[in-house]
Amino acid sequence: MRRLRHVLSVSPWLILATIVGCSVLLALVLLRLDHILKIDPDPSQPWLYGGTADSAISLLSAVASSAITVAGVVFSATFVTMQLASSQYTPRVIEPLSRRWYVQVVLGIFMGTFIYSIVVLRSVRPATETSPEFVPVLSVTFCVIYSLVAVGVMLYYTSYSMRSLQPSFLIDSAAGETVDILRKRLVRLRERPADRDTPDLRSLTGEPWNLQVEMPGFVQRVRVDRMLAIAQRHDLLVRLDRPLGSYVLRGEPLVSVWPVSGCTADVRAEFRKTVVLGAERTADQDIEYGIRRVADILLKALSPAINDPTTAEYALNRLCDLIVLLASGEDGMLQFADDRGRVRVLWPPDQFDRCVQTAFGQLRFYIGRDVHLMLYSLDLLQRTTTLIQPAMRGPILEEATKLRSVVIETVSDRKDQERIRQAGAWIDDAGSIAAG
């Protein structure tokens, strides 16, 4: 199921193709049953189609033309929504919107209704001098049911389209994958035994074998399970040298493996398939990229062209939530052990300070003279620090200190300056606690 969900998230068009293919198959099966059963159309049967061949042709033609028209409208509405979201918020929100499975289901239902109606329509035969009338009763009846389902789906899509342009919906879409990654990581950390010690790489003799990049790109995904299986099968220790989301240059080392004597040509070929590189960053495993998408919405909302402080508050709320989740994880290098509890794969940790800087580092340059948002930001950062352990508060305190200094210099009114000083008084107290 995990593999299936990943395939559908990477290639959501497979959902549309599956629905269309099943519609064609269902039409052929029902037509075969109609040929076998030869049910006569009887108007007295309320649950089956009881009209003539000409009325069946008119019905199927109307359903087919309506379905393909609505499908075109759905496609157009989807593209307009993505264009508006890209210009109003950030182009980074297009990816999570385009991978929504229920959008593909809506498109698939209408395309499937069109294809189904066309396939059934070609089998309807009016009566002639040489052949009797043939009306596929079961097939036409199901076409009516299929069209009713399509109407219900259209009602759902109308509600979805209205919600998809709301700031909170787009912010949740941008942060949703990152929240799922962090929650799964917390579950994995709780399930993992605590008595596994990180191997001392300095005790390993000899130089490791380095997997070097042949084509440059961003580290999009690491197949940890496959890497762990290879390391266990050949008694190896693997370390990922470049974090997820980083851009790797041609010839730069990406993975180190000890000992080099166990890295045969076949083993090296297997390791090359465990890391996926691409031209763009993705949020499948890259936590920092998910934070950057929400931060882009925050900064775009504060830009002079948009000037939407309410959306900025929504984005800031979500950023603080992501930072709290990130701080709840393990501080240090992640370890993946085999069935016997021996550590085989070392994963460099997500740099907490770098993620904090990505989330809040540019806020002070865009916040302008909005005193309300300044006070709101300082209060939210204070609440965030109370939810994480003191040892990890340093990066947040540093960004809060910079924000307080910049906004005091920006605001000219002395009363507002004093309010900001009072709102940021917690920074010095929290800094002394973290230092202690």
The pLDDT value recorded for residue 88 is: 73
pLDDT at 146: 92
Six-digit token string for 114: 């069109």
Residue 138 has pLDDT above 50, yes or no: yes
Tell me, what's the pLDDT at 113? 92
What are the pLDDT digits (tens) for 295-350?
Answer: 988 888 888 888 888 888 999 999 999 898 888 765 555 677 777 777 888 876 65
Would you state the pLDDT for residue 195? 43
As a dihedral over the C-alpha atoms of residue 239, residue 242, residue 245, residue 246, rounded to 10 degrees, the angle is 180
**Stretch 178-201: mean pLDDT, rounded?**
58
Q: What is the pTM of this model?
A: 0.74
Beta-sheet strand order (sheet of 247-248): 247-248, 217-222, 275-278
Instruction: Say how many C-beta atoms besides its own lie within 10 A of residue 154's C-beta.
Output: 15
Of 2-11, 141-150, 289-298, 353-362, least confident by mean pLDDT is 2-11
The answer to whether residue 160 scores a pLDDT higher than 70 is yes
How confident is the model over 56-77, as pLDDT tens digits?
899 999 999 998 988 888 778 7
Q: Report, as an integer, the average pLDDT of 224-231.
A: 86
Average pLDDT rounded to a whole number, residues 216-235: 86
